[in-house]
Amino acid sequence: KLFTIMRKGPKRTSAILAILAAVVIVPAAVLAWGPGRPTYTIEHPADHVTFNSITNNPNIGDERNFVGIRESGTNNLWTDNMNVQKDKEYTVRAYVHNNAASSLNESGVGIAKDVKARVNLPTTTAKSIQVDGMISSSNASPKDVWDQATFTNSKDFNLAYVAGSLKFENNAFGAAGTPISESVFTNTGALLGYNQLDGKIPGCFQYAGYLSFKVKPQFAPEANFEMSKQVR
């Protein structure tokens, strides 16, 4: 029936193609995180190892949206979209939470293994730069979860990593956190953990943590000309 309708006229064909495009494109644009996965709540955590899938986290809300940006040195809200300014630094943060029920830790079933973080921090110059964060675990389902946040400006810029700012903080490492390997910015990734970076994170809120680092936008220098006109 669809192809019969399309043959009847160009106006109907255009309308149908527009509808089909909306069906395909809109969900992909709306869902910056992935993959699609079962969700849980504080009251009803998961019965297996899975990351960032609780929808009513009192600290960050929906955990599937776990990568955020804010201006460094402020208490501003974390956001998915940041309009950068010259000479300012920004902190990128990724939340890491194994949603397995704490009752599963004693048997070992709830402990995530080989937990790694990976961050795609582009070196390109553009008016919009997307930073992607991924958390993976060999015994999690799904094995990988990801989310993104975007830096923008009306002028071209690039993002420079602020050396020494990369850390992972939780209840064991404290607010100061512990440094993690800069391999996090490669396909290899960097191991995380609870009281040591051994890739093991038990299930429950007390074992959750934050990976963070700082970046500084760099803009091309603007020419500053002075002109003097003399007339005889």
Q: What are phi and psi of 160, to 5 degrees?
A: -105, 125
Q: Return mean pLDDT, the chain.
A: 88
β-bridge partners, 215: 90, 161
Mean pLDDT, range 194-204, rounded to an integer: 98
Closest to 60 (Cα-Cα) out of 77, 39, 48, 43: 77
User: What mean pLDDT is predicted for residues 105-112?
Assistant: 97
221 falls in which pLDDT band (50, 70, 90)?
confident
Q: Looking at this protein, which amino acid is placed at residue 66? A: F
Which residue's structure tokens are 């201006």? 71
Which whole number is the average pLDDT over 114-121?
Answer: 98
**Residue 72 in contact with residue 214, Cβ under 8 Å?**
yes
Q: What are the tokens at 55?
A: 């929808």
Confidence of residue 220 (pLDDT cuts 50, 70, 90): confident
**Where does the pLDDT of residue 31 fall: very low under 50, low under 70, confident under 90, or very high at 90 and above?**
low
- The arithmetic mean of pLDDT across residues 190-216, rounded, is 98
Confidence of residue 232 (pLDDT cuts 50, 70, 90): low
Query: Which of 3-7, 31-35, 151-155 shows the lowest mean pLDDT across its residues?
Result: 3-7
Which range (6-15, 19-28, 113-122, 215-224) has the least confidence? 19-28
